[in-house]
Amino acid sequence: MAGYGYGEPYGSGGGYPPPAQPYGSPFAALTPSSFPPGTDPNLVACFQLADQDGSGLVDDRELQRALSSYNQGFSLRTVRLLMYLFTHTNTRRIGPREFTGLFHCLQMWRGTFERFDRDRSGKIDGPELREALLSMGFAVPPVVVDLLVTKYDKYGDGSRAIEYDNFIECCLIVKGLTDKFKERDTMLSGSATFTYESFMLTVLPFLIA
């Protein structure tokens, strides 16, 4: 129901973050993974270069450096949110399968950002952000978009616009919280009931990333 911010952007494939898992410990161990068949050898090499100890996992700082090598520079907070959305844990480790999906997802989100950055300023304003999120399947209310822009406007110079790295963080938060809400809103009514514990487990990972 798009009216409540629901959507399935890009379908079930294409590297988009997997559906949120049932509630549990956000510090559960990460299940080992491998590269999907047909993964770009350059992407494999990038992961292996980042995985300096050969453990088959890269940590948050290693992932940050790996993404920077592909002109995808992000703060550690954004990197940790990416890791959480793809692993559903706060262990701050990511394996080959998750790394591949994360990389392709970022490519799609960059394409979306560039499509709505119509003046090529490197920024999008509130209405453009709402359009971009809507194109991804999230009908975010204007008041929430306004809060996001207020939070992520780096300069506070009156332009009320956000740059690419903060756009990615907005997407991560909207996607992650919407998925968690949908787990509880089984009738797609736009309403859900949470216990105190499940509410805290839903929100805190996005605050402590």
- Tell me the percentage of the chain whose pLDDT exceeds 70: 83
pLDDT at 28 over 70: no
pLDDT band at 30 (very low <50, low <70, confident <90, very high): low
Given the structure tokens 């629901």, which residue do they identify? 6
Kindly state the DSSP code that residue 69 receives in the 8-state scheme. Answer: T
Helices (H) and strands (E) in the chain, counts: 8, 4
- Antiparallel, parallel or unpaired: β 93-94 and 58-59: antiparallel
Q: What is the mean pLDDT of residues 102-129?
A: 92
DSSP labels, 1-64:
-GGGT---TTTT-TTPPPPPPPS--TTPPPPP--PPTT--HHHHHHHHHH-TT-SS-EEHHHHH
Q: What's the whole-model pTM score?
A: 0.77
Contacts of 34 (CB under 8 A, 6+ apart): 95, 96, 97
- pLDDT for res 54: 87
